[in-house]
Structure 1
Amino acid sequence: MSDRPLRVLVVHNRYRSEQPSGENNVVDQETALLAGAGHRVESFERRSDDIAAMSLFGKATVPVRVPWNPAVRAELTALLRARRPDIVHIHNTFPLLSPSVLAACADAGVPAVATLHNYTMTCAPGTLYRDGRVCTDCVGGSPLPAVRNGCYRGSRLATVPLAIGMAANRERWWSGVARFFCISDAQRQILVHAGMPEQRLAVKHNFVTDPGAVRTGPGEHVLYLGRLTEEKGVRLLMTAWDAVRDRSAPRVPLVLAGTGPLEDEVRRWADGRADVRYLGLRDKAECRELAARAMAMVAPSTWLETFGLVVVEAMAAGVPTVAAAHGAFVELVADGRTGLLHRPGDPVALANCLRRVLVDPAAARDMGTAARLRYEEGFTPAVGLRRLIAGYESVLSEAPAETGGEAGGHGTQTVR
């Protein structure tokens, strides 16, 4: 890693503050990591919270500016020419920034990299999930199926600006970004299949700050930590836990912490039960404490997670994870060694994995120890910083002409 301080401009449209955003957290932690290492970091941001304060006309024109925002292009171009950063790191551009940020980078002659936190390059809502199942109808093709099915917020009208943006800016994204950072190899493989330039797609896993609290005993509960939504597997978990209870009385309770559309359903399900506790939304410190006291974390997502911060947070706490065997979970969880993988969408398979944890706490403890070692090897801030800087420097070492045109044969393996 070079000792030369880099000048980095981070571009991000922040998600609404009314609900926790893992992506916002990743951006903030990565920015702080760079600054703490002596690099010069500035931010160019918009906040989705600002939409509420807009005039009626302003709100009405937001969808028009989703595919292209000329005012943002002009503002960012001026900033880049004034600040002259070495590199621009793009995260989210929806809904207030738009892909016009790529034109600004080209105007100012500054290379751009982009972290892909989801599947918005090939799926309008970025989830690859529709009607309770994984959906790849738009992967590698037209976004028209997304419009037909109203994939964004259940509305065809709301989906149109996203579909237009995808179709109109596809080539600009694929040629204007020098390197895409995928946050898992599972995500990368899907995007390669979608037709994205393979040589520009690198894998750079997210990192997690060491919680400072690692489980020492057998654990007091099985923990679900996250959004209460169908795609996160919450209903699947409830069905599986009922099956575990029907077979025997669980030694430890299931604890759920988080909020979301299924909150009322979860609250009713947990009410009056000794084997289930619903805690609602908890702050970061409380979540770290809950993780450190867990026998196992459970992540039964029915959609294809691009990463899975909760899995790595469990690793950092020395706790194994019971997770669905698809998406990024397959590369994060070593089945039988750092956790257990169950057949996706199958409550019986999930219940069987939960029983294995409950009946053999010694094995769960051993898996937690192995998970902690896996964290120390691959997901600490030090590892994250090394991989991020290596990614930047690999782009800066290339000919400037490659930024806006066809890339050469530069490497696309995991950033080391």
Structure 2
Amino acid sequence: MHVMVVHNRYASAQPSGENKVVDQEVELLRAAGHRVDRFERRSDDIGALSLPRKAALPLLVPWNPAVRTELAARLRAERPDVVHVHNVFPLLSPAVLAGCADAGVPVVATLHNYGQVCPPGTLQRDGRPCSACVGGSALPAVRHGCYRGSRLATVPLALSLSVNRRRWWTGVERFLCISAAQREVLVRSGMPAERLAVKHNFVPEPGVRREGPGEHVLYLGRLAEAKGVRLLMTAWDALTAAGGVGVPLVIAGSGPLEPEVTAWAAGRPDVRVVGLYDTARSREAVARSVAVVAPSTWMEAFGLVVVEAMAAGVPAVAAGHGAFTELVEDGVTGLLHRPGDAESLADRLRLVASDPDRNDELGRAARLRYERGFSPAVGLERLLEAYRSASAGRTGGGRVPPAVTDGRAGRGGASAAGRDGGSR
């Protein structure tokens, strides 16, 4: 197939699971012999804009007419079979949908977060779950300044959500939800259920797997409140006071809480803050882990780090809500803790580190789950299935059922990204 990928890349200074997913899908398609072109903008380029252009940027978040014209011209010249849209904030805008319509090319869109129903995309406010804008007006987000704690910064996102809602719903042939839990929220919000499919992200073979019991507990990701970093620090303090778990905590990543985390870890032999790892070092760190911890306080739409742990044969300790409940089978492929509960998190970490034989069983089961549900072969099959269904929908050739998934999320029809894949 010939695919045009549309994506606004997040800033390179912070981890972005979404950028990683986009790049991996492009590589997967090309390796299988498909032609993939890119239509991209980079948030890194904002810093080089003139002051007048920076001042005008919020006005273009809801609609950027120049992008519509440019994309339509590219599509008419190159004639791809399908356009795959990922992130359009802040430099592309939903005008990309009009560009696709102008050129008559069907659209598939991956929803990496909850941006279709929540301006910041997190379904969280003040560290707690929030659904005030789901299925209704985005005014609550403006009132509370949900994006970056600023009412002014939230206005363009809220306006874009409000004025472009129907354009998204009618201009996209197939939405790809990255979990059944995410799909359930979006269906309840009023999005067209027949256009919402579940397609979990895949993870490439890491090239390295765990050998032996592991050397550390690993947190790998953005150092932000919504990711549960403060909750993890509280839980680790409790474990340390009770004698520890026998291995150190390694924290790899960057983000707004980095100074606080670094100060907390200073002088402690049981904690190492190592900064932002590249892909190779991340894979090595995962493979040397007793467990990978994902204590997010917001309901993650997916949870890439959990599947990366599975690929390396390492169990995860994750919050028992959102997508984690369909990725981790509690007590079989990993452990789930009560969301937002530091005592429960400490108990799960203690349990996963205390029994090496049981830990090894969890790791082997996690690897098997990866092979069956999240491998490149599975990812390619589901991606092409979505593209074909989008083309069939545009030509009237039929449609596939709404859940394109691995079976365990068969409940995806009716049950349970700042955005960084998403966190902004």
C-alpha distance in structure 2 between counterparts of 1:282 and 1:84, whole Å = 38
The equivalent of 2:301 in structure 1 is 306
In structure 1, the gaps of 5 or more residues are: 1-5, 403-407
The equivalent of 2:401 in structure 1 is 411
Please tell me whether residue 88 in structure 1 is matched to residue 78 in structure 2.
no
The equivalent of 1:375 in structure 2 is 370
Please tell me whether residue 190 in structure 1 is matched to residue 185 in structure 2.
yes
The equivalent of 2:92 in structure 1 is 97
C-alpha distance in structure 1 between counterparts of 2:317 and 2:120, whole Å = 27
The residue correspondences of 1:46-61 to structure 2 (distance < 5 A) are: 46-61=41-56
C-alpha distance in structure 1 between counterparts of 2:316 and 2:48, whole Å = 42
Alpha carbons of 1:409 and 1:215: their partners in 2 closer, same or farther (altered >3 Å)? Answer: closer
When the two structures are aligned, how many residues end up with a matched partner?
406
CA contact (8 A) 1:118 1:127 kept: yes
Amino acid at match of 2:335: L
The equivalent of 2:260 in structure 1 is 265
C-alpha distance in structure 2 between counterparts of 1:88 and 1:249, whole Å = 51
Which deviates the most, 389-398 or 332-341?
389-398
The equivalent of 1:324 in structure 2 is 319
Which deviates the most, 276-285 or 215-224?
276-285
Map Cα deviations across residues 196-218 of structure 1 (whole Å, 9 max, x no partner).
Answer: 00010000011111111111201
The residue correspondences of 1:291-370 to structure 2 (distance < 5 A) are: 291-370=286-365
Amino acid at match of 1:242: D
The equivalent of 2:216 in structure 1 is 221
The equivalent of 1:64 in structure 2 is 59
Map Cα deviations across residues 269-325 of structure 1 (whole Å, 9 max, x no partner).
Answer: 212222222212222211111111111111110001111110001001100000000
Q: CA deviation at 1:125?
A: 0.8
Q: CA deviation at 1:410?
A: 4.4
Q: CA deviation at 1:185?
A: 0.6
In structure 2, the gaps of 5 or more residues are: 407-424
The equivalent of 1:27 in structure 2 is 22
Q: CA deviation at 1:225?
A: 0.8
C-alpha distance in structure 1 between counterparts of 2:338 and 2:200, whole Å = 24
CA contact (8 A) 2:8 2:40 kept: yes
CA contact (8 A) 1:211 1:288 kept: yes
Q: Secondary structure at the match of 1:162?
A: helix
Equivalent of 1:285, from 265, 280, 283?
Answer: 280
C-alpha distance in structure 1 between counterparts of 2:22 and 2:148, whole Å = 25
Q: CA deviation at 1:358?
A: 2.0
Which of structures 1 and 2 has the larger relative contact order (alpha carbons within 8 angstroms, sep 6+)? Answer: 2
C-alpha distance in structure 2 between counterparts of 1:296 and 1:359, whole Å = 11
Q: Secondary structure at the match of 1:115?
A: strand
Q: CA deviation at 1:399?
A: 4.5
Amino acid at match of 1:212: G
Amino acid at match of 1:150: G
CA contact (8 A) 1:255 1:278 kept: yes
C-alpha distance in structure 2 between counterparts of 1:19 and 1:245, whole Å = 29
The equivalent of 2:415 in structure 1 is none
Equivalent of 2:108, from 105, 108, 113?
Answer: 113
CA contact (8 A) 2:392 2:399 kept: no
CA contact (8 A) 1:9 1:41 kept: yes
The residue correspondences of 1:230-245 to structure 2 (distance < 5 A) are: 230-245=225-240
C-alpha distance in structure 2 between counterparts of 1:45 and 1:271, whole Å = 40
Q: CA deviation at 1:409?
A: 6.6
Q: Secondary structure at the match of 1:297?
A: strand
Amino acid at match of 1:412: P
CA contact (8 A) 1:223 1:297 kept: yes
CA contact (8 A) 1:229 1:262 kept: yes
Q: CA deviation at 1:381?
A: 1.0
Alpha carbons of 1:362 and 1:401: their partners in 2 closer, same or farther (altered >3 Å)? Answer: same
Q: CA deviation at 1:347?
A: 0.6
Q: Secondary structure at the match of 1:278?
A: strand
CA contact (8 A) 1:250 1:275 kept: no
CA contact (8 A) 2:15 2:253 kept: no
Q: Secondary structure at the match of 1:114?
A: strand
C-alpha distance in structure 1 between counterparts of 2:320 and 2:346, whole Å = 14
C-alpha distance in structure 1 between counterparts of 2:389 and 2:169, whole Å = 18
Equivalent of 1:249, from 244, 253, 270?
Answer: 244
Q: Secondary structure at the match of 1:286?
A: helix
Question: CA RMSD, aligned part only?
Answer: 1.3
The equivalent of 2:168 in structure 1 is 173
CA contact (8 A) 1:295 1:365 kept: no
Q: CA deviation at 1:400?
A: 2.7
The residue correspondences of 1:9-24 to structure 2 (distance < 5 A) are: 9-24=4-19
Alpha carbons of 1:150 and 1:106: their partners in 2 closer, same or farther (altered >3 Å)? Answer: same
C-alpha distance in structure 2 between counterparts of 1:271 and 1:71, whole Å = 49
C-alpha distance in structure 2 between counterparts of 1:377 and 1:401, whole Å = 32
Amino acid at match of 1:272: G
Which deviates the most, 269-278 or 346-355?
269-278
CA contact (8 A) 1:315 1:374 kept: yes
C-alpha distance in structure 2 between counterparts of 1:33 and 1:249, whole Å = 42
CA contact (8 A) 1:222 1:295 kept: yes
CA contact (8 A) 1:388 1:415 kept: no
The equivalent of 1:75 in structure 2 is 70
CA contact (8 A) 1:299 1:323 kept: yes
C-alpha distance in structure 2 between counterparts of 1:38 and 1:203, whole Å = 24
C-alpha distance in structure 2 between counterparts of 1:234 and 1:161, whole Å = 29
Moved over 4 A (4+): none
TM-score scaled to structure 2, two decimals? 0.93
Please tell me whether residue 128 in structure 1 is matched to residue 118 in structure 2.
no
Please tell me whether residue 143 in structure 1 is matched to residue 150 in structure 2.
no
